[in-house]
Structure 1
Amino acid sequence: MSLFVDVDYASINKYKEELCGDKVEVLRSDNSVIIVLADGLGSGVKANILSTLTSKIIGTMLSMGSTIEEAVETIASTLPVCKVRDLAYSTFSILQIYENGEAYLVEFDNPSAIKLKRGKFVPTDKQEREIEGKLIKESRFMMGPEDVIILITDGAIHAGVGECLNLGWQWENVKEYAERIYKKDMSVKSISNTLLSACDSLYAGKAGDDTTVVAVKVRNAQPVNVLIGPPLDKNLDSYVVDKFINQKGKKIICGGTTAQIVSKVTGREIITSFNYIDPSIPPTARIEGIDLTTEGVLTMYKALEHAKKYLNPDNLLQDFSGLNKEDGASKLAKLLLEESTEVNFLVGRAINPAHQNPDFPINLGMKLKLVNDMENHLKQLGKKVFVEYF
């Protein structure tokens, strides 16, 4: 089974700066994921331009078929050096993870990556070599399911300087904190946000440097299948339900009519619930063999609100524990946003008079719009999404 690489990153700008001097690029291909973290010298516009230039050059070269070695050599040989500080104008880390778990890490003047296995730090063997007078550190290793790698910029190991700590939060402190907060089911967003929140607290909300945390987690593939809405042709009910039931992975039914069709075709009873955990969200139901059964359009709309908040870069340092609530929309959002690695939507095109205007073309229907929006959000998280209409 191929592995899925979950990636999330979060940044805080240096106090009073509008732009961040750190830049992250994530490139996904058929057989690997490449993460580039660049840190421009200084802060503000200049640093932002330099880090963007660095990450874009590396990303462009890799997307055009160049090897990471060639990209590193190009960057190391072309980056200018500050005459005053004798430092490269941008440092960087590059991490490539293949679908079989093979990983390749390149570091140039960024703090060392933190690799966790079952929540405990595991050192990686590093080889040093000089390219155009610049010292590059390389590591090759294997990653298995639930292994985590955290990439940071030097803003993280300077956190607290002049505020809470004399010398700042040292690399050892970051590593120990990462070990302490780790939980088996912790999402990459929780890891990156928790670490960044700690840095922000040490800076007392006035960061002395741009600070970025990138969390990377390797997971086994977890398909999630969503059946939403009855087919346009009732003669397809049995075909669609059989297709849905026989798919690998977790199964979600959205819609009361859809649930009734599944119950009729499979002979499995619907056990309804009248427990309104959230008055604004319809209660869920239970069907044997189905992981989640919810109401349709309204629940998907509320789940989409979760997704928008989850992906909104302005929501940094916020608590996303709302996904752990017991209402149908929160459960649906958690399954799609955090637990899935691949999502298969089976979408029925029958019009529900309660939600749609029959005079409008079917592609303007609320249900299809919600599915399309959710598909786009999931793709932003790097998930494979397939949509089939009936």
Structure 2
Amino acid sequence: MKSNIYVEISCRKVNCHSDRICGDSFVQRYIPSQNRTIAILSDGMGHGIKANVLSTLTTSIILNMVEGNESLQTIARTILKTLPVCSVRKISYSTFTIFNYNHYNNQVSIIEYDNPQSIIVRHGAIFSPEWDCQEIEDELTHTNRRTILTTTYQAERGDRIVFCSDGVTQSGMGSDSQPFGWGRTKLQEYILTTTNHTTIAAHDLAQRIVQRAIILDKDVPRDDISCVVIHLREPQKLLFCSVPPTVEVKSREIADMIAEYNGKSAISGYPLAELIAREWDVPIHKNLTSTDPDVPPIWKINGLNLVTEGLITLGKVLDILEKRDSGSPVRGRGGAYRLCDLLMEADIIEMVVGLAERITTSSVWRDDYVLRRKILRAISEILEKKYNKQVKVQYV
């Protein structure tokens, strides 16, 4: 990527109180071939399974067309011509918001149809780019005119973009405190107040907005409630080293790499940690007991954010990442959970692993190496596909 801006995206959704499935659908994707990040939120008409089918269809069509490198305007027009209109209510069966970030030129494009208008925060104030209003009508009957809003602007580091389904802005409707619902204006005020804490993560802000909407609905959501928060910021980096004890390593090279790294660092494997401590001439604090009975204890070395045991800990890390919901926090104690915390906090993860050719002992240790490599490869894949992390692997 040419841009040094990281696109942090988080979506929080809550079902309508009477349903087991959310009628809103969300998808995000980084498209390497186009060097852009896309996020799509669709709200199916009504709620429940029918709404979910409609919104999922909408996001799927949009995503497929984006990956086919169609322009956003073409996509929006195609969707509106494809989606049927309710014969009774005269509204489309789903609405949508499309966010697009171009990593080459730091340009943001947003296209909206019938969702609450996106809110953009810059330097602690509401930023209002110029929006273009386009009307699309049925080509045969010249009826059913529908309006899409589009904007394109130059992004800046620190920008936050918030968009949501109408379950957020209409929350509390009919109550004494919010007779007309929360509304976009009061939502803006809430966002500005909350983002005074400039370090607030996207997932925390999205969660707070959704929770506030639920409270306004007296803890009984009357519609699906979904909120997407996007934060354009400096990327958080992690250098993660895991080299088997039977691999000859250039300890000085790795020690210098860690010392000069602009980000956090972690080692999985006691022998490598001992080599690094020796190179730095610093003591090792070895915990004798573990807060997690499933894995060996963590060590502490000045200059490293975390030191864990190798193979057993990596196996549990993979298990945690596979079972964890991508939007939920990591809960647990011990080396594996601590390592998962670091992996989740990072946007760019650089893995340093050993080469098989450097193994110096018996085939038993080669089997250990092969298993470790498989686990690391699986961790790398799940971080990229499930958690949208950028993972780079370096062999030493």
Shorter-normalised TM range: 0.7 to 0.9
- 1:1-390 aligned at under 5 Å gives the runs 1-30=3-32, 31-99=35-103, 100-132=105-137, 133-162=145-174, 165-182=178-195, 183-230=197-244, 232-234=246-248, 236-242=250-256, 245=259, 249-264=263-278, 266-272=279-285, 274=287, 278=291, 282-288=297-303, 290-297=304-311, 300=314, 307=321, 311-312=325-326, 320=329, 331-338=338-345, 340-348=346-354, 358=364, 361-362=367-368, 365=371, 367-368=372-373, 370-379=375-384, 380-388=386-394
Residue 66 of structure 1 deviates from its aligned partner by: 0.7
What secondary structure is seen at the aligned counterpart in 1 of 2:380?
helix
What secondary structure is seen at the aligned counterpart in 2 of 1:42?
coil
Residues 231, 347 of structure 1: 8 Å contact kept: no
With structure 1 as the length reference, what TM-score do the two structures score? 0.83
The size of the alignment, in residue pairs, is: 373
Letter in 1 for 2:163: L
- Name the residue aligned to 2:360: none
**CA shift in 2, pair 1:198/1:371, >3 Å:** farther
Residue 254 of structure 1 deviates from its aligned partner by: 2.4
**CA shift in 2, pair 1:322/1:46, >3 Å:** closer
**CA shift in 2, pair 1:283/1:360, >3 Å:** closer
Letter in 2 for 1:170: G
**CA shift in 2, pair 1:33/1:232, >3 Å:** same
Residue 240 of structure 1 deviates from its aligned partner by: 4.7
Residues 311, 377 of structure 1: 8 Å contact kept: no
What secondary structure is seen at the aligned counterpart in 1 of 2:18?
coil
Residues 188, 216 of structure 1: 8 Å contact kept: yes
- Which moved further from structure 2: 273-282 or 90-99? 273-282
**RMSD (Å), alpha carbons:** 3.1
- Name the residue aligned to 2:140: none
Residue 251 of structure 1 deviates from its aligned partner by: 2.2
**CA shift in 2, pair 1:110/1:235, >3 Å:** closer
Residue 109 of structure 1 deviates from its aligned partner by: 0.8
Distance 1:107 1:64 in 2: 20
Residue 93 of structure 1 deviates from its aligned partner by: 0.7
Distance 1:181 1:276 in 2: 40
Residue 102 of structure 1 deviates from its aligned partner by: 1.0
Residue 384 of structure 1 deviates from its aligned partner by: 1.3
**CA shift in 2, pair 1:360/1:387, >3 Å:** same
Residues 232, 348 of structure 1: 8 Å contact kept: no
Distance 2:390 2:343 in 1: 11
Distance 1:300 1:52 in 2: 35
Letter in 1 for 2:341: K
Q: What CA deviation, in whole Å up to 9, does each residue of 1:246-267 have, x standing for no partner?
A: 5554322223221111123x33
What secondary structure is seen at the aligned counterpart in 1 of 2:301?
strand
What secondary structure is seen at the aligned counterpart in 2 of 1:59?
helix
Q: What CA deviation, in whole Å up to 9, does each residue of 1:132-170 have, x standing for no partner?
A: 222111112222222211110001111123567432221
Residue 87 of structure 1 deviates from its aligned partner by: 0.9
What runs of 5+ residues in structure 2 fail to find an aligned partner? 138-144, 357-362
Q: What CA deviation, in whole Å up to 9, does each residue of 1:231-258 have, x standing for no partner?
A: 5432544455455555554322223221
Residues 9, 214 of structure 1: 8 Å contact kept: yes
Residue 358 of structure 1 deviates from its aligned partner by: 3.9
Residue 295 of structure 1 deviates from its aligned partner by: 4.2
Letter in 2 for 1:2: N
Distance 1:321 1:235 in 2: 32
Residues 260, 270 of structure 1: 8 Å contact kept: no
**CA shift in 2, pair 1:233/1:258, >3 Å:** closer
Distance 2:121 2:316 in 1: 34
Residue 88 of structure 1 deviates from its aligned partner by: 1.3
What runs of 5+ residues in structure 1 fail to find an aligned partner? 351-356
What secondary structure is seen at the aligned counterpart in 2 of 1:39?
strand
State percent identity of aligned pairs: 26
- Which moved further from structure 2: 372-381 or 175-184? 372-381
Letter in 1 for 2:45: L
Letter in 2 for 1:75: I
Q: What CA deviation, in whole Å up to 9, does each residue of 1:91-119 have, x standing for no partner?
A: 11111111242101111110011112244
Residues 227, 244 of structure 1: 8 Å contact kept: no
Residues 117, 146 of structure 1: 8 Å contact kept: yes
Distance 1:278 1:199 in 2: 38
